[in-house]
C-alpha cells in the first residue's frame, strides 16, 4: 500500500515514456507507456493513467496527492537533431554577420579538411546587421541605430520568421542595445518569439554566445508551447503544484522560469542520472562513482566525486556549440540498437549508426534486417526470446540469428556465436573509451571508483566493462532501466548565473575581496528572488560559487569551485584543479578570472529509503538457460535468478543471469553478487585472470 504524498519522475524516450512513482516511505513503482513522438503530452498522460490505475486511484486523486512532478524530455534535442525547429532571423552587430557560419575554424579531426560543418540554422539572408558598437568594457563606441532594426524587421515580416535571435558584440558587458532592439522587434512583431544573448549566455565568446542564442530561438517556439500545454493539462487534472522540468545542469526548474531559455533542456533526460547517483551513493558505500547509462542508442558516462558531479559550460549537440551549464556527460554510440557491420575492406565495426526505435533491431520484427547489440545479446542467450515490457516488443531469435549470419558471420568466416561475441566485445571497447575520456583524461583513476551500470542495457555490459577498467566494484540499481526517471524524483531545483569578469586575480582593485563580494552579492540577490518565486527560501536554499579561470595568454578557462573571496585561496583552488587536469602548474604565473558563476539550489527533502526484509538463505535459481560466458568458456548452462525474489543479504557467485522488471543483468565468472540493504546489486569483480 503506497502512502501519499508522492513524487513522480517522467522521462520521455523515443520508444517508451518511463514513469517512476516514489511514495512517502520510499517505496518505488515503475511504469512504461508507449511514447507518442507526434504529441509527447499523450505519452506522459498515458503513463500517468497507467500508474493511477495500478495503485487503484483516479487520475485526479493520484495527481492531487503528488507533491513533486518532474519531467525530462528529449524534445529540445530532437528538434535540433531532426532540424524541425523554427524559422529564425538573427540580428547581429554590423560587420559580424557571418560569425555564426565562420565558427571557430576548429575541426574535430584535424586531418579531415573535407567534411562539411552542419547546416547553419539561420541562412545568410536572415542574418541582418544592426548599426551600433560597444567596446570591450561595455562603453558605446558607435551609438545604437534603431532604424537598422526597423529595416531588418520588415525583412523578417516578409519572410515570416517564427523567432528572432539578437546577439550584439560585447552585450555580456552592456545589454542595453540588445534590450532596445528586442523592444522594437516585439513592438512590430508581437507574435514572434524573441531571445537576446545577454539573457541566455552573457559570456565572452562571440561565436559561442551567438550559437547558443540562435539554438534557443530555434527550439523555443517548438518546446515552450508543449511545456505550457502539458503543465496546463496536469493542473486541470488535479496537480496542485506546477510541473518542473529537468535541465542540462541536472537540476529542475519551473516551466515559467525556463520559458525564455529552453535551450537549457537539451540534455534534460541524461542529466537526470545525477539525482540517481546522489541517491544510490548512500547504498554503494562509496563517494567515487562512475556511471554508464546504456539505452537503445547510446551510452552516457558521468563521473561523481565526493557527491559532486563534473560540470561544463561548453557542449555540442550535432556540432552546434552551446554555452550553457550542463552535467559533463560523455556520450558514445554504444546502445542496444547500435548496428554492427563489415565494410568493403573487411573491417568489423560496431556503430556509430543505430537502428533507432523503428525499425529497431532485427529481433524486434519491425522490418529491421541489420544486426545490432540487442540481436547479439539474444543470440548469446543473455536475453531470452519472447515478450518484453509488458508485450510491447517480442524478441525473435531466428531473425537475430539471420541478421548476424548474413551481415557479420558470413563475411568474416565466423560462426554466428563468435560474431555475436565479437559485436559485444567491440561495443564494450567503445564504452571503455568513453569512460577513459570521462576519467583518465580529466586526471582521475577509474580503478578507484565504483562503476554504476544503468539503463535498460547497461547491466548486461557492467561486469565486463568493470573488468576492462580494473574496477573491483560494480553497482547495479534494481531500477536500472528507469534510472533517469528515478533521478528526477531526487533532483533539487537549480538555476545557474554567470557574470563575465576578465580581471587579473592579483589586481588589488578589479579582483579584490570587496569587488568579488559585491559582484556575487548581486548574482545572489537575483538568484534568491528566482528561487523564492518557485517556493524556496531560507534554509531550503544554498548557493555555490565558482570561477572560470586561466593563466594569462591561454584561450580556454577551467572551472574552479571555491567558496572563498580571497585571491590567495582562489589561486590555491585553481592550481589544485589545474595540476589534476594537466600535471603541472606555472609557479607564480599570472592568473585571470574570466567569469564568476553562482549555482542557486532549492533543496528538496531527501528521499526516504524503503526498508526491506533481509534473508540469509541462499537464493534458488528460477530457471537455467544456455548462455555464452566468455571466449574461454563458450556456452554453459547458467542459473537465472528472478530479481523480484531476491532479498537483502543474499549472496551468490557468477556466472549468472538476473531477470529484473526493467533490465537484465549478466554476472561474469568468479564475480560475487550481494543484495544490498536497499535491495540493489553490489558485485565484486573477479580479476581478468580469475574470470578466464
Q: Give the domain range for residue 349.
A: 338-426
| Alpha-carbon dihedral angle through residues 478, 481, 485, 488, given to the nearest 10 degrees | 50
Q: Could you tell me the CA-to-CA distances from 612 to 279, 487, 652, 679 in Å, in that order?
A: 17, 21, 19, 7
Q: End of a domain among 602, 632, 666?
A: 602
Q: Which ranges constitute the DSSP H helices of 160-268?
A: 176-188, 197-200, 206-237, 255-258
Three-state DSSP state, 406 = helix
- Rounded mean pLDDT, 266-291: 88
Q: End of a domain among 264, 295, 315?
A: 264
pLDDT bucket at 651, cuts 50 / 70 / 90: very high
Identify whether residues 52 and 107 lie together within a single domain.
no
Which residues lie below 8 Å from residue 471, measured CB to CB, with a gap of 6+? Answer: 290, 446, 447, 449, 450, 451, 685
Confidence (pLDDT) at 691: 53
Q: Which residue has the higher pLDDT, 616 or 215?
A: 215
pLDDT bucket at 12, cuts 50 / 70 / 90: confident
Contact 278, 271 (CB under 8 A): no
Identify whether residues 207 and 134 lie together within a single domain.
yes
Contact 221, 163 (CB under 8 A): yes
Q: What is the total count of domains within the chain?
A: 4
Confidence (pLDDT) at 98: 92
Identify whether residues 165 and 63 lie together within a single domain.
no
Q: End of a domain among 584, 602, 620?
A: 602
Q: Could you tell me the CA-to-CA distances from 431 to 300, 327, 630, 688 in Å, in that order?
A: 9, 18, 18, 17
Residue linked to cell 511514495: 23
* Residue 642 belongs to a domain: no
* Residue 584 belongs to a domain: yes
Contact 361, 367 (CB under 8 A): no
Convert the pLDDT of each residue in 190-216 to its tens digit.
999 999 999 999 999 899 999 999 999
pLDDT at position 542 over 80: yes
Confidence (pLDDT) at 567: 93
pLDDT at position 689 over 60: no
Convert the pLDDT of each residue in 100-142 to its tens digit.
998 887 777 778 778 888 889 999 999 999 999 999 989 999 9
Domain of 234, CATH number, reads 3.30.420.40
Identify whether residues 111 and 26 lie together within a single domain.
no
Convert the pLDDT of each residue in 229-250 to its tens digit.
999 999 999 999 999 999 999 9
* Residue 685 belongs to a domain: no
Distance CA 285, CA 528 (A): 34
Identify whether residues 169 and 97 lie together within a single domain.
yes
| Alpha-carbon dihedral angle through residues 401, 405, 408, 410, given to the nearest 10 degrees | 170
Q: Establish whether the linkage from the previous residue to 655 is cis, with ω within 30° of 0.
A: yes
- Rounded mean pLDDT, 309-332: 88
β-partners of residue 316 are: 321
Q: How far is CA 299 from the centre of its chain?
A: 10
Identify whether residues 142 and 12 lie together within a single domain.
no
Identify whether residues 92 and 172 lie together within a single domain.
yes
DSSP output for 174-186: --HHHHHHHHHHH
Residue linked to cell 533481509: 614
Distance CA 518, CA 120 (A): 40
Confidence (pLDDT) at 359: 84
Contact 49, 19 (CB under 8 A): no
The conformational region for residue 417 under phi > 0 = left, psi -120 to 50 = alpha, else beta, is alpha
Identify whether residues 113 and 19 lie together within a single domain.
no
pLDDT at position 690 over 60: no
DSSP output for 525-554: HHHHHHHHHTT--GGGEEEEEEEEEEETT-
Identify whether residues 64 and 98 lie together within a single domain.
no
* Residue 621 belongs to a domain: no
| Average per-residue pLDDT for the chain | 91
Least confidently predicted of 60-64, 296-300, 461-465, 504-508: 296-300
Domain of 150, CATH number, reads 3.40.50
Identify whether residues 149 and 45 lie together within a single domain.
no
* Residue 486 belongs to a domain: no
Contact 489, 70 (CB under 8 A): yes
Tell me the residue ranges of DSSP E strands in 441-526: 450-454, 473-476, 493-504
Cell, residue 234: 496536469
* Residue 607 belongs to a domain: no
* Residue 26 belongs to a domain: yes
Domain of 579, CATH number, reads 3.30.1490
**Three-class DSSP labels, 341-370:** EECCCCCEEEEEEECCCCCCCHHHCCCCCC
Cell, residue 172: 555580456
Identify whether residues 25 and 122 lie together within a single domain.
no
pLDDT bucket at 421, cuts 50 / 70 / 90: very high
pLDDT at position 688 over 70: no
Identify whether residues 73 and 131 lie together within a single domain.
no
* Residue 674 belongs to a domain: no
Distance CA 683, CA 678 (A): 14
Confidence (pLDDT) at 251: 93
Distance CA 439, CA 250 (A): 19
Contact 650, 444 (CB under 8 A): no
Residue linked to cell 576492462: 468
Amino acid at each position: 500500500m503506497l502512502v501519499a504524498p508522492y513524487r513522480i519522475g517522467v522521462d520521455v524516450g523515443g520508444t517508451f515514456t518511463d514513469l517512476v512513482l516514489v511514495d512517502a516511505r520510499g517505496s518505488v513503482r515503475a511504469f512504461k507507456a508507449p511514447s507518442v513522438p507526434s504529441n509527447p503530452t499523450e505519452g506522459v498522460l498515458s503513463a500517468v493513467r497507467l500508474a493511477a490505475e495500478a495503485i487503484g486511484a483516479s487520475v485526479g486523486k493520484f495527481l492531487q496527492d503528488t507533491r513533486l512532478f518532474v519531467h525530462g524530455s528529449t524534445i529540445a534535442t530532437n528538434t535540433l537533431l531532426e532540424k524541425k525547429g523554427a524559422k529564425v532571423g538573427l540580428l547581429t552587430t554590423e560587420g559580424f554577420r557571418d560569425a555564426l557560419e565562420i565558427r571557430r575554424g576548429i575541426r574535430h579531426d584535424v586531418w579531415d579538411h573535407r567534411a562539411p560543418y552542419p547546416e547553419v540554422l539561420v541562412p545568410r539572408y536572415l542574418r541582418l546587421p544592426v548599426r551600433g558598437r560597444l567596446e570591450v568594457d561595455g562603453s558605446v563606441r558607435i551609438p545604437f541605430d534603431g532604424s537598422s532594426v526597423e529595416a531588418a524587421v520588415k525583412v523578417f515580416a516578409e519572410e515570416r520568421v517564427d523567432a528572432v535571435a539578437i546577439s550584439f558584440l560585447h552585450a555580456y558587458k552592456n545589454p542595453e542595445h540588445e534590450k532596445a532592439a528586442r523592444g522594437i522587434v516585439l513592438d512590430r512583431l508581437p507574435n514572434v518569439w524573441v531571445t537576446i544573448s545577454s539573457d541566455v549566455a552573457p559570456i565572452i565568446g562571440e561565436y559561442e554566445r551567438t550559437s547558443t542564442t540562435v539554438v534557443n530561438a530555434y527550439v523555443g517556439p517548438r518546446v515552450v508551447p508543449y511545456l505550457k500545454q502539458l503543465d496546463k493539462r496536469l493542473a486541470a487534472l488535479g496537480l496542485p503544484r506546477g510541473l518542473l522540468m529537468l535541465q542540462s545542469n541536472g537540476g529542475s526548474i519551473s516551466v515559467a522560469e525556463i520559458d525564455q531559455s529552453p535551450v537549457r533542456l537539451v540534455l534534460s533526460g541524461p542529466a537526470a542520472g545525477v539525482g540517481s547517483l546522489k541517491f544510490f551513493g548512500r547504498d554503494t558505500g562509496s563517494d567515487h562513482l562512475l556511471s554508464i547509462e546504456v539505452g537503445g542508442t547510446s551510452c552516457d558516462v558521468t563521473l561523481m566525486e565526493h557527491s559532486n558531479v563534473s560540470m561544463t559550460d561548453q557542449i555540442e549537440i550535432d556540432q552546434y556549440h552551446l554555452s550553457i551549464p550542463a552535467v559533463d556527460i560523455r556520450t558514445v554510440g554504444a546502445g542496444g540498437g547500435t548496428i554492427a557491420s563489415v565494410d568493403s575492406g573487411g573491417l568489423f565495426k560496431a556503430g556509430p549508426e543505430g537502428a533507432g526505435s523503428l525499425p529497431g533491431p532485427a529481433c524486434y520484427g519491425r522490418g529491421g534486417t541489420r544486426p545490432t547489440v540487442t540481436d547479439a545479446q539474444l543470440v548469446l542467450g543473455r536475453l531470452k526470446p519472447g515478450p518484453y515490457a509488458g508485450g510491447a516488443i517480442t524478441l525473435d531469435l531466428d531473425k537475430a540469428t539471420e541478421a548476424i549470419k548474413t551481415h557479420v558471420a558470413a563475411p568474416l568466416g565466423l560462426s554466428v556465436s563468435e560474431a555475436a561475441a565479437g559485436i559485444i566485445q567491440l561495443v564494450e571497447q567503445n564504452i571503455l573509451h568513453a569512460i577513459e575520456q570521462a576519467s583518465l583524461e580529466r586526471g582521475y583513476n577509474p580503478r578507484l571508483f565504483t562503476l554504476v551500470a544503468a539503463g535498460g542495457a547497461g547491466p548486461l555490459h557492467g561486469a565486463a566493462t568493470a573488468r576492462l577498467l580494473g574496477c573491483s566494484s560494480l553497482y547495479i540499481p534494481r531500477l536500472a532501466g528507469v534510472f533517469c526517471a528515478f533521478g528526477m524524483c531526487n533532483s533539487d531545483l537549480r538555476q545557474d548565473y554567470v557574470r563575465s569578469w576578465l580581471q587579473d586575480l592579483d589586481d588589488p582593485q578589479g579582483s579584490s575581496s570587496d569587488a568579488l563580494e559585491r559582484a556575487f552579492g548581486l548574482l545572489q540577490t537575483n538568484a534568491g528572488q528566482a528561487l523564492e518565486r518557485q517556493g524556496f527560501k531560507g534554509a531550503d536554499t544554498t548557493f555555490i560559487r565558482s570561477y572560470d579561470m586561466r593563466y594569462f595568454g591561454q584561450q580556454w578557462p577551467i572551472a574552479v569551485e571555491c567558496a572563498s573571496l580571497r585571491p590567495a585561496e582562489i589561486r590555491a583552488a585553481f592550481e589544485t584543479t589545474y595540476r589534476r587536469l594537466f600535471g603541472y602548474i606555472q609557479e607564480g604565473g599570472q592568473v585571470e578570472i574570466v567569469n564568476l558563476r553562482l549555482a542557486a539550489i532549492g533543496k528538496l527533502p531527501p528521499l526516504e529509503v524503503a526498508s526491506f526484509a533481509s534473508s540469509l538463505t541462499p537464493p534458488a535459481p528460477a530457471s537455467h538457460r544456455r548462455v555464452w560466458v566468455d571466449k574461454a568458456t563458450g556456452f554453459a548452462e547458467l542459473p537465472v535468478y528472478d530479481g523480484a525474489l531476491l532479498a537483502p543479504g543474499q549472496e551468490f557467485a557468477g556466472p549468472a543471469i538476473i531477470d529484473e522488471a526493467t533490465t537484465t543483468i549478466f554476472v561474469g565468472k568468479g564475480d560475487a553478487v550481494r543484495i544490498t540493504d536497499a535491495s540493489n546489486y553490489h558485485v565484486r569483480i573477479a580479476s581478468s585472470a580469475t574470470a578466464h
